Amino acid sequence: MIELTDVSVRYDDSRPPELREVNLAVEEGELALVVGRTGAGKSTLLGTINGLVPHFTGGRLSGRVIVNGLDTRDHPPREMAEVVGRVGQDPVAGFVADTVEEELAYGMEQLGVPPATMRKRVEETLDLLGVAELRGRSLATLSGGQQQRVAIGAALVTSPSVLVLDEPTSALDPGAAEEVLAAITRLVHDLGTTVVMAEHRLERAVQYADSVIVLPGDGVVRSGDPATMMIDSPVAPPVVELGRLCSWSPLPLSVRDARRAARPLRSRLGMPGTRTRPAGDTTLTARGVLVRYGDRVAVRGIDLDLAAGTVTALMGRNGSGKSSLLWALQGSGVRTAGSVVVDRVDTATSDPPGPVALVPQTAADLLYLETVSEECEVAGPAARDLLDRLAPGIPDEQNPRDLSEGQRLSLVLAIQLAADPKVLLLDEPTRGLDYLAKQRLTEQLDLLARNGCAVLVATHDVEFVAGSADRVVVLADGDVIADGPTAEVVASSPIFAPQVAKVLAPTPFLTVGDVAAAVGSLA
């Protein structure tokens, strides 16, 4: 179905090639998962399949890419549209129409499908993806999961034989991600569509894959059976890490397989050792925080205390009020009622940089200078040292916009920490980070907490929470519905439980690190 022969891609002669002599074949009806670190060339590889690379992006491609008999050399993306449907990371950025129905029809209009057929296929696609009740809604008012399902529907409605998905769940909460992945697997099963998908959250996707394409870096590409490829893949979900740790063979890819393999381990393991991070005094005291925008109440009178030296995770659906709460705590956002006190001073009255630092969802919004050193200079004398401690080896003269997601996050962290805040708030920091970058962030937050900072992280990422937080607060519809130690809150929830907890239940282990420590102490 998809055949790449000796494909090399180079955007700039002065830089190493993005892809180097790639030979790859994806069979019809296969779900192929593209795995690799950020910047390893996943998006480039996906782009070659419908000709966006190099027709749209520029650069030089040598070799041949043939999809369903069409060579991308002779067919630009708009002509490949009949064969290849593509869904990007941010569904909103790719929407052309304004209502669900029109968005679905758009691709068919371009291909000149007769109106009667169009009407019928739009209805079928609405049903297939379970979005029929949304048909007349404006795209801007949909939730993230609904938007992404509409985007998939829009790519699918022309019945292409290949569907290319570039990190379709990276912006979604766990429930919505589940929704989208379920829709994708259904397509593979029912329609026989060939799917090529890049995904950061392997814990959800790898069990459904028929083959895995690994990009270890340096432009090389390897592909094969998932269980074999995951043995030495540079990124791996916790369940695979656990399998590697215990040298299970074959390597389990799903929680179900791992549970069966883990039977002897469960009986052998005792209780996990407690993580040692002593909580300090209460730094931030919030009472009755209420945020409303017109008629909509985003946060309904929340009380919250944050203690020095702790990392607290703030979880909940998209739109449950996490961001509003963070901005209200910081002091510069809307706060309709209530008080937030740090050091006996209300945060709303302090000028920036106040005692509460916040890293916003789009961290790049804070950056505006041409080089890393300029940014650090403006932020204060401590910034550069902090950056070197958080992420060593970022050159001074680098443009902040050319940094990787993880490096950019570290830079913004360093800038915000330069004023020595008592409390640090982070809004969705793990978006676009791969496992290693998340590990790095976990270590950074641990370092900050040990230095006496109170950290609050709003995130969807269950595995990240399991590895880094002492305490979890769950919001729903503006209210706190759960608040307690990570192990208690997370392990008892069907949606928020991390993979290791599911595998080893009822023993309350959360991360592979905990298991490794326990196994080490056994041996």
Partner 1 sequence: MQRLPAPVHPLAWWLWAIGMAVAASFTTNPLLLLLLIGVSCFVVVVRRGNAPWARSLRVYLALGAFIVVVRVVFRCLLGAVGTGPVLVDLPRIPLPDWAAGITLLGPVHVSDLLDGLYDGLHLAAMIICVGAANSLANPKRLLKVVPISLYDIGTVVVVAVSVFPQLAESIARVRRAQRLRPVPGGRWHLVRRMIVPVLADALDRSLLLAAAMDSRGYGRRGATSPRTRRAVAVATVIGLIAVSIGIFGVLDGQAAAVFRWPAFVFGAVLAAAGLVFSARERTVTRYRPDPFDLAAWGVSISGLAAGVLMLLATEYAPAHLSTSTDPVQWPIVDLLPLLASVVGLIAVLVSPPRAIQEQEVVA
Indicate whether 98 belongs to the interface with partner 1 (CB under 8 A): yes
**Under 8 Å between Cβ of 331 and 347:** yes
Residues with Cβ < 8 Å from 436, sequence gap 6 or more?
A: 37, 234, 235
Regarding 110 and contact with partner 1 (CB under 8 A), the answer is yes
> How far is it between the farthest Cα atoms of the chain?
70
Select 84 or 462, whichever has its Cβ closest to partner 1. Answer: 84
The answer to whether 495 contacts partner 1 (rule: CB under 8 A) is no
> Across the strands, what pairs with 483?
473
- Minimum separation from the CB atom of position 295 to partner 1 (A): 11
CA 323 to chain centre: 17
Report the chain's terminal Cα–Cα distance, integer Å. 50
Q: How do beta strands 479-485 and 471-476 pair? A: antiparallel
Burial bucket for residue 369 (CB in 10 Å: 0-12, 13-18, 19+): middle
Decide: is 52 part of the binding site for partner 1 (CB under 8 A): yes
Nearer of residues 334 and 495 to partner 1, judged by Cβ: 334
Q: Is 293 in the site for partner 1 (CB under 8 A)?
A: no
Residue with tokens 């070197």: 388
Secondary element (H or E) of residue 338: strand 337-342
Least Å from the CB of residue 353 to partner 1:
5
For partner 1, give the closer residue by CB, 137 or 300: 137
Nearer to partner 1, 128 or 202 (CB): 128
Q: How far apart are CA 504 and CA 362, in angstroms?
A: 36
Site for partner 1 in 5-44 (CB under 8 A): none
Q: Does 113 bind partner 1 (CB under 8 A)?
A: yes
Task: Rule CB under 8 A: say whether 402 interacts with partner 1.
Answer: no
What residues from 146 to 185 belong to the interface with partner 1 (CB under 8 A)? 154-155, 158
Sheet order of strands, 60-67 included = 19-26, 2-10, 60-67, 70-71
Nearest distance from C-beta of residue 237 to partner 1, angstroms: 28
522: phi then psi, degrees, rounded to nearest 5: -70, -40
**CB of 326 vs partner 1, minimal distance in Å:** 11
Question: In terms of CB distance, is 457 or 480 closer to partner 1?
Answer: 457
Q: Is 93 buried (19+), middle (13-18) or exposed (0-12) by CB count in 10 A? A: exposed
Residues 331-390 that bind partner 1 (CB under 8 A): 332-333, 351-353, 357-358, 360, 362, 364-369, 378-379
Q: For residues 193 and 83, is the Cβ–Cβ distance under 8 A? A: no
Integer Cα distance of 261 and 280 in angstroms: 41
Query: Within positions 63 to 92, which residues make up the interface with partner 1, using CB under 8 A?
Result: 76-82, 84-86, 88, 90
Q: Quick one: which of 1, 9, 40, 108 contacts partner 1 (CB under 8 A)?
A: 108
**Interface ranges with partner 1 (CB under 8 A):** 50, 52, 55-56, 76-82, 84-86, 88, 90, 93-99, 101-102, 105-115, 118-119, 122, 136-138, 140-141, 154-155, 158, 327, 330, 332-333, 351-353, 357-358, 360, 362, 364-369, 378-379, 401, 415-416, 419
